[in-house]
Structures are given as C-alpha cells and as structure tokens.
Structure 1
Amino acid sequence: MSENADIYRINTADGREIILIGTAHISQSSKELVRETIEKETPDTVCVELDEGRFKSLKEPDRWKNTDLKQVIKKKQLATLIANLVLGSYQKRMGAQTGVKPGAELKEAAETAESKGAQLVLADRDIKITLKRTWACTPWYRKLSLLGGLFASIFDKTEISEEELDKIKEQDALSSMMQEFGKSFPEVKQVLIDERNQFLASKIKSAPGKKIVAVVGAGHMRGIANIIETDKEIPSEESISVIPKGSPVWKIIGWAIPIAIVASILFVGYEAGFKKAGELSLQWAMLTGGGAMLGTIIAGGHPLTILVALVMAPFTGLTPLVGVGFFTALTQVYMRPPRVQEMETLSDDIWQVKRWWKNRVTRVILCFLCPGIPAIIGKILAIFKIYQAF
C-alpha cells in the first residue's frame, strides 16, 4: 500500500511489514524523512542501499585519502577508482548546490538505527562488482558511448535545487527516465538498476525482524516493491555477483594480431633480408613508443615516466594482457607520489581541467589514460608499414 511518493508499505504473507523509503542522495528533505520515519516506526531492522566499502567511506570520510595508489595500480584497479571518483565527485558537486553531502540520508539512517537499537543491514552489492559487471556486460560497440557519457559528466554544469529534486523523485518521472536510459544502454540498465533491485530486494526480504525499514534510492523503490509484492523468484546473490568472462573470440583476436605482426616481420626478414626486418622492427618501436611518449608528455609525466612509455609501448603493443598506461602510471606515482593536500582537494580538482596537471593524483590518472591512444595510432601506422613491405 502507498502512503506517499516517498514511502511505500508492504505487508508480507508471513505477517511482516516492510517500509520502503525512496530518497535522493543529495536531498535535505530525504535526510529528514529518513530520521522521522525510523524514529516513528521503531523498526527491528533498518536496511540501507550501501555496501561495506561505501558504508566505511560515509563513516570515515577521510579514509579514502589514505588510498595507496601504488597498490591500486598493481592490482589493476585504477580504472575502477577513476569511475568511482568521477561518479562520487559528480554527486558531491550536485550536493554542494543543495547543501547536503552525498549519502547523507543513508548515514542518517544508520545513525538513527543505532540510536533506536535497530539492527543495520547493508543491502547493496559491492560497487566494484557492479562497475565490473557493467563494463563486462556492455558490448564493445557501446563502451565508447558509455565512456563518452562518463567523461561528458565532468563538463556538465547543470545546477539542481531541492524543488527540482522533488520533481525528479516523482514516480512517473522516474519511470520515464529509466525507460529512456534503458533504450540507450539496455545492458547498463540491467546491471545498474534491474540486478541491484533484485539484490536489494533479496537482502530486504531476508532481513530479520517483524518490521523493516529499507532506505533506497527513489529510482529503485518501485522495482523493489514489485519484486517483493509479487514474490518473484530472485536470482541468487552469487549469480549476479560474478564478473562475466570475456568472449574467447576476443582473446583469440587479441593474441592473433601480435602473433601475425611478429610472423610478418620474420617472413619479410626471410624474404627480403634481416636488414629489412630490422627496419620494420625499429619502425614498430619508434611509432608505438613515440606515440606513447607523446601522450605521456601531454600528461605532464616525469622524465623517467616518459622514458618508460618509449621503452614499454613496443612490448605492450604485442600483448592484450596489459597496456602501456599500467607502467606509466606506476612509474609516475613512484616518482611523484601525491601529497596529502592533493588527495583532499581531488574531488574538486577533477572538475577543473586547468588543475588536472597541478594535482599529482590527476596527473597519475593522465599518465594512465594519455599514452594509450597515441600508442594505438602508432601501432596502426606500423602495421601499415609492415603491410607495405609485402
């Protein structure tokens, strides 16, 4: 049964009451509604749309500033960190316009639950798994559009007020937005919305107690309510928390191209002499390494980082396992480790292009991203040179 647009009550067949609160993550009114509802209802359990990592970040907002970038790069998690940073910083910037920190209503829910002696359940899927599944489930031809949309958000200057937030939270408007989003990125919607609805619904249904309050984003409320009310069969949490393996076709292509390049150079050497093979090998090294070096210079990399780009790009161009950005970013973070104050201002600096080269963290990110495209262009030119040699 519906109480208003932000609260939805469900009475289950086993005599339990589930109260869903749909919120906007940067809304003062949502924060107040959460506190008032929990205090009034005195539930046995409060479920929040958080995973363990985001919950710790809310409790200890300065915790992420101690992130060891060296370990992040070595574990090949820098791309995930960048996506998290952009999304989190975007919410922070929007929140600055309403005077509310992102996730304030979730933190309020946790604190109010503790004060009322209610059990707290972290009901969301690990954000790292969600991002990795989103990327893995997106077809290659849509990935560029997805990255473009993420990058475009950096330059989005849209301002939003509490009144506009209230309009966005209206259920009809939300349904329309989700439908439009689903048309453009159906695979992304499946992972970000549908799967998380299922995961959240499963956690809420299995939460202990007779009365449960669940605090979720307004965009999830209707989907969760539908799953619980109709008692739909929900996939196991394990099945929607596995990172899909890439198609073997792409692995074959990924290795076939470098093998073909090496075989072609050897064939030219056999037919036209090793001097010609040496020339092609040198061209490969200079075009791929030179491209990566140019990208690293644009990124403002340390001189040693620039040298690493020149040396490593010819080798990384012959393997699909690791890109040159891995080595340039790792070298940069060792040679120019970020300072504490730069970690503190990172979420603000990322929105100001002129500060990308001043903050050492964003410069590490630039050293990760910039060498790749020029190196690929160099690789294509080198392949064309090898083709001409035939």
Structure 2
Amino acid sequence: MGEIRLVGTAHVSEKSIAEVRAAIEEFEPDIVGVELDAGRYQALRNGAPPPKVDEVLKGGNFSQILFQWTLAYLQRKIGMDVGVEPGAEMMAAIDEVENRGLPLGLIDRDIRITLSRFWEGMSLWEKVKMLYALAVSVSGGVDEKVDIDALTRQDVVSAALEEFRNFSPNGAKALIDERDAYIARRILDLSGRYEKVLAVVGAGHVRGVERYLSSPDLLPPEAALTAAPKKRYPWGKIIGVLVVALFTILLISIAFSGVGLEVLAWAILYWVVINGVLAAGFTIAAGGHPLSALTAFGVAWMTSLNPLMAAGWFAAIVEAKVRKPSAADFQRIMDAETFDEMRKVPIFRVVLVAALANVGSTIGTFAYFLFIAPILGIDPTVIIPQGFANFVGWLGGLLPF
C-alpha cells in the first residue's frame, strides 16, 4: 500500500487554497484525490448543464429542491463575503495536478446518491427543523465576522459535527458518516496503485476518513453506501388517510346527531374556507400570482382529502403559466447575490409557491380539526358517540335481517 496524506480544507477559505498548493509542492504525490464526483468535477471545470424546467416541475420534490438551492446560496454567500468561490480549493488542486501532469482521482460519492439518501433518510421532524434553520439563516443573513479559517481546526469541526448530529442524526449519517467510508474506500483503492497519494477533503471528513484508513476492516460494504435509499414509512399518505377518516367521522356524527343540517353545512363550508385561505395565504407569502393563490384556494379542500394530490402542484402549474420559467433561470439562481434576487427568478418563485402552498394547506387541515368544535359550538365527546350510535341504528334498519 502506498503512503497517504490528507489535507483538510474549508470550501470557502483562501488559507485552504494555499495549503492545498503547499501540500502538493512538499509531498510530491503520484496522484491527487479530490472530494468531488464526476458531476461536480464537470460543473467546476465547464459549468453545470441546466436541468430541464419540466423535469423540476414534474418531480414534485419541491421542499428538497428549495433545500438544495438555499444551501448552495448560503455557501456561495459566505464565499462572496470572504472573496472566495465555493470549491476554489478543489480547483486549486485540479489546476496544480494539471500543471504537473499528475493523474487526478475523484473520490467522493455521486452527489445525486448523497442528496437522495440524505433527504429520504431524514425523519419528517428533521426535515422541518432543517428547512426552518435554513429559512432563519437566509432571513438573518450571513455573519460576516465568522472566522472561516477556524473551520479547518479539528476542535471547531468536531464541535460543529456533534451539534449537527444532535440536530439531525439521520442527515449526518448520509452526509458525513457514509461519505467518510466511501472516500476512505476510494483513497485505499488509489494507494493500492500509487506510491504516494494526496487526498484533499473537507475538514469535517478528516477524522472519519483517518479512522477508516487505520482500520479498513470497519468499512461497510460499498453496496451499502451506493444503494438507493430505503423508503421510510409513507407517513404523508398514512396521515392523509387518517384525515379523510376523521373528516368522514365528523360529518357522519354531525349528520346523525340531531344538531341539524345547518351545522353540517357550516362544518363543510369551514373545511373549504380554512384550507383554502391558508393555502392561498401562503401562496401570496411566497410571492405567488393572485391566480395561483386563487387556484390554491379552490383546490385545497379537495387535495387535503386526497393523499395522492397536493394544492401546491396546482398552484405551481398556474404560477409557471404566468411566470414562464426558462432554462436560463437556473444560472440566474446561481448568480444571485441576495436571497431577494433569488426569489425574483421565475423558476425559484414557482418552486417556492408549490412548497409553501402545500405548507399552508397542511396547516389548514390541522387547524380545522383543532378549532372546528368551538367554532360550531359542539362537544365532540357527545356528538361523535351519539351520532355514530344513530348511524349504526340507521344502517341496521336498512339491512334485511
């Protein structure tokens, strides 16, 4: 096995760029491995090809897309504040490798696999916390006094990683632990073919990779690191079915309890209004067009009763018709210097409308069940047993035996 040296970097640090160049100069490696996959390497070298608008809109993973765009914006914003482009230290390594005629090794897992396993692996609560934290970060801006160079010190890195694990244990597993193992595997593969291997990785991966390099027997099978993520329980659909069941039970109880058809009519009307107003309100909050908000209002009552549909999908279709997003929008998102600029890009606005309309509709559904009883002036502990008893008696009278 060849000699291995790791260089831990911060992705937006001028100091890290200098350290990468110095390590190549001093160590004189036979190959340099960088924490990139083929897709990100091509994006750094030639610019990433824009995705197709239709693919983004038909994918339906609007919250995940927002997460990716916002995270990329925050990293880019930090880089702009300190005068360093994200990934600059990797480009420095690549340039040095090319200047010296050395081979380059791409040692990171495919970003699509990582993001898929990251998002699918997190619980619903972890996703909510993650999106909220990003929203707070964006609205509060980036602290320009942050010590970027401290991000490569292992005590600072370890503290940050521990905090992230407490915040999102499943997210940390996919984003850090699995990649530690994958990167270590690639480095060991390179060391089997080259005498001196220099690996440039993010500071957060150094200790994990070193642990696997010193004890390769701890490495999980590669198939376990690259397989499609296991589907978690479809909580969204399960909750959707429960909502339909609760709403049905409520209506049957009111209808057969003897409180009157007027109360039943108000119960149905409030379902339409509460779901619709909140879905439309969140659409407007996202900067959506009035027609998109009207669409969200019109369909929210129905989509809340169908686990396979979402109000945001319909609002997004109308928003796309109005805003007319194009492939050029993706570059505009990458070039945006403020979050407000990013919000004005049509494709970003469409995705934001879709995500927030769904949030509004979901809140409306829960708000309905929390407040409908006091609004109608009924006691569910009386209405439901009484109504169902009458309903069962009515059914019994219809049966021929």
Q: Does 1:214 align with 2:203?
A: no
Number of the residue aligned with 1:227 = 212
Is contact 2:62–2:352 with CA below 8 Å preserved after alignment? no
Is contact 2:282–2:357 with CA below 8 Å preserved after alignment? yes
Residue 125 of structure 1 aligns to a residue whose secondary structure is coil
Residue type of the alignment partner of 2:362: I
Residue type of the alignment partner of 1:211: K
User: Which of 9, 13, 21 is the aligned partner of 1:23?
Assistant: 9
Is contact 1:70–1:334 with CA below 8 Å preserved after alignment? no
Q: TM-score, normalised to structure 2's length?
A: 0.80
Q: Does 1:359 align with 2:340?
A: no
Q: TM-score, normalised to structure 1's length?
A: 0.82
Residue type of the alignment partner of 2:168: F
Is contact 1:69–1:333 with CA below 8 Å preserved after alignment? no
Q: Does 1:104 align with 2:91?
A: no
Paired residues in the alignment total 371
Cα drift, residue 224 of structure 1:
0.5
After superposition, the C-alpha distances for 1:222-277 in whole angstroms (9 at most, x for unaligned) are 22112101223211233134323222666434322223323543565567688865
Is contact 1:47–1:215 with CA below 8 Å preserved after alignment? yes
* Structure 2 counterparts to residues 250-329 of structure 1, below 5 A: 251-262=237-248, 264-265=250-251, 268-269=254-255, 280-329=267-316
Q: How much identity, in percent, do the aligned residues show?
A: 32
Cα drift, residue 300 of structure 1:
3.0
Residue type of the alignment partner of 1:167: A
**Aligned in 2, Cα 1:50/1:320: closer, same or farther, shift over 3 Å?**
farther
Is contact 2:240–2:304 with CA below 8 Å preserved after alignment? no
Is contact 1:292–1:313 with CA below 8 Å preserved after alignment? yes
Cα drift, residue 20 of structure 1:
1.2
After superposition, the C-alpha distances for 1:295-347 in whole angstroms (9 at most, x for unaligned) are 22333323432232123212221233343223322331232123677544434
**Aligned in 2, Cα 1:76/1:32: closer, same or farther, shift over 3 Å?**
same
**Aligned in 2, Cα 1:330/1:121: closer, same or farther, shift over 3 Å?**
farther
**Aligned in 2, Cα 1:317/1:284: closer, same or farther, shift over 3 Å?**
same
Cα drift, residue 198 of structure 1:
1.0
Residue type of the alignment partner of 1:55: Y
Q: Between Structure 1 and Structure 2, which shows a larger proportion of helix residues?
A: 2
Cα drift, residue 48 of structure 1:
1.4
Q: Does 1:67 align with 2:51?
A: yes
**Aligned in 2, Cα 1:337/1:374: closer, same or farther, shift over 3 Å?**
same
Residue 221 of structure 2 aligns to a residue whose secondary structure is coil
Cα drift, residue 42 of structure 1:
4.7
* Structure 2 counterparts to residues 186-205 of structure 1, below 5 A: 186-205=169-188
Is contact 2:181–2:209 with CA below 8 Å preserved after alignment? yes
**Aligned in 2, Cα 1:121/1:259: closer, same or farther, shift over 3 Å?**
farther
After superposition, the C-alpha distances for 1:80-111 in whole angstroms (9 at most, x for unaligned) are 33222222211211112332210011122233
Residue type of the alignment partner of 1:194: D
User: Which of 159, 165, 181 is the aligned partner of 1:176?
Assistant: 159
Number of the residue aligned with 2:364 = 378
Q: Does 1:33 align with 2:19?
A: yes
Number of the residue aligned with 2:232 = 246
Residue type of the alignment partner of 2:366: I
**Aligned in 2, Cα 1:112/1:202: closer, same or farther, shift over 3 Å?**
same
Residue type of the alignment partner of 2:188: K
Q: Distance in 2 between matches of 1:274 and 1:112?
A: 79
Cα drift, residue 30 of structure 1:
1.9
**Aligned in 2, Cα 1:287/1:180: closer, same or farther, shift over 3 Å?**
closer
Is contact 2:78–2:142 with CA below 8 Å preserved after alignment? no
Cα drift, residue 216 of structure 1:
0.2
After superposition, the C-alpha distances for 1:163-185 in whole angstroms (9 at most, x for unaligned) are x3333312233223323433343
Q: Distance in 2 between matches of 1:94 and 1:123?
A: 25
Cα drift, residue 367 of structure 1:
0.9
Q: Greater CA deviation, 178-187 or 101-110?
A: 178-187
Residue type of the alignment partner of 1:309: A
Number of the residue aligned with 2:398 = none
Q: Does 1:337 align with 2:332?
A: no
**Aligned in 2, Cα 1:225/1:83: closer, same or farther, shift over 3 Å?**
same
Is contact 2:289–2:319 with CA below 8 Å preserved after alignment? yes
How large is the Cα RMSD of the aligned pairs? 3.1
Unaligned runs of 5+ in 2: 384-401
Residue type of the alignment partner of 1:76: G
Q: Does 1:52 align with 2:38?
A: yes
Q: Which has the larger radius of gyration?
A: 2
User: Which of 144, 155, 180 is the aligned partner of 1:159?
Assistant: 144
